[in-house]
Structure 1
Amino acid sequence: MRNLLLEPEILRYPEMRRHTSQSTSRLEILASERDPAISEAFSEGDYRAVHRILDRFYNIILMDCGTGLTHSATRGVLGVADALVVVASPAIDSARSALATLDWLQYHGYAHLVPDASVVLSSARPGAMPINVEQLTQRFQSQVRSIFVVPYDHHLAAGGEITLELLNRKTRGAYMQLAASVADGFRRPTAHPVR
């Protein structure tokens, strides 16, 4: 992302494309820095500048904020977000963390994102879920629009680039439902002006 900001002006798609990699599904990825010191220095203003560039070339922009909710760059992401997906594993500590994230958003100026958010409970281990997922789902339902349970998948557990065809049928189905749910929000007016 930092290299994108160093360009004097990006006016055409081929200039933008030099900064991205592309998966077999044609998803383009603009990677952040691997060096934590450099990525820590990426600010809210930096992200907003990157977003202004991306917004000229892409209809949908997905951003992985990791766990740095209070980081300056994350405020930049949240400031332009139209939809929010919170991911947790079906475990007590992870669920508490996801609920704390929703509470933090509620009380720090991003309350408008919470009622329309989606929560994904993604199992990282094979076998039965360690807690009662139905109870957990009920707990989230009072705050967000939708909850999706993604079963354990060997391909996801391996890490690295995801190839959709290698996902098991149930995993792919859960992600298709999530994508459809997020896309349903495209019809609703945004909380902030069109950029």
Structure 2
Amino acid sequence: MMDTGNNMRSSNWEAPVAAADGLIIVSTVREDTVGSAVWLVDGLRERGYEDKVRTAVTLLAAPSLKTGLQLHDRTRNHFESRTREVLDVPYDKSLVSGGPFNYQALLATTREAWVRASSAVMRGL
């Protein structure tokens, strides 16, 4: 497993994509990060990775308790037309710091969402 980020200009970006058995497209549901994820998927397709995009799993993470429904729906529809599966991951304040997290502190809905995400990835392998 490797996190390539979404910087296609990085010199070491394409090798892990080419070697990957599957891709996971991750975005928070915010205009700026959705835009980056869209740009990433378009770039992958332009570079000949359309099959990998089509079999990818997209994870949409809520950036706050109140996510814009219109943006969420547009984003979901966009990625549903390009990737194999799109799953939502709810906002969880225990993940906000970005540092080490305490699994026990995660909400039950968060744990369930990540189990569903893991299962979706495994189905593609």
**Equivalence for 1:120:** 59
Residues 40-119 of structure 1 aligned to structure 2 (within 5 Å): 62-119=1-58
Q: Percent identity?
A: 27
Q: Which amino acid counterpart does residue 76 of structure 2 have in structure 1?
A: T
- Aligned-partner residue type, residue 176 of structure 1: V
Moved over 6 A (4+): none
Say whether the 8 Å CA contact 2:4–2:13 is kept in structure 1: yes
- CA contact under 8 A between 2:6 and 2:40: conserved in structure 1? no
Query: Quick one: higher RCO (CA 8 Å, sep 6+), 1 or 2?
Result: 2
Please, which of 68, 91, 98 is the counterpart of residue 130 of structure 1? 68
Count, aligned residues: 124
Q: Post-superposition shift, 1:97?
A: 1.7
Which one has a bigger Cα radius of gyration? 1
Gaps of 5+ in 2: none
Residue identity opposite 2:24 in structure 1: V
Deviations 1:10-59 (A, max 9, x none): xxxxxxxxxxxxxxxxxxxxxxxxxxxxxxxxxxxxxxxxxxxxxxxxxx
Provide structure 1 residue ranges, at least 5 long, that are not aligned to the other structure: 1-61, 187-195
Q: Partner of 1:16 in structure 2? A: none
- Give 1:130's aligned amino acid: G
1:182 aligns to what? 121
Instruction: Give the match's secondary structure for 1:177.
Output: helix
2:58 is aligned with 1:156? no
Letter in 2 for 1:156: L
RMSD: 1.5
Post-superposition CA distance 1:130-181 (Å, at most 9, x none): 2422332112111001111111111110221233322111111111111001
TM-score, with length taken from structure 1: 0.59
- The aligned residue for residue 4 of structure 1 is none
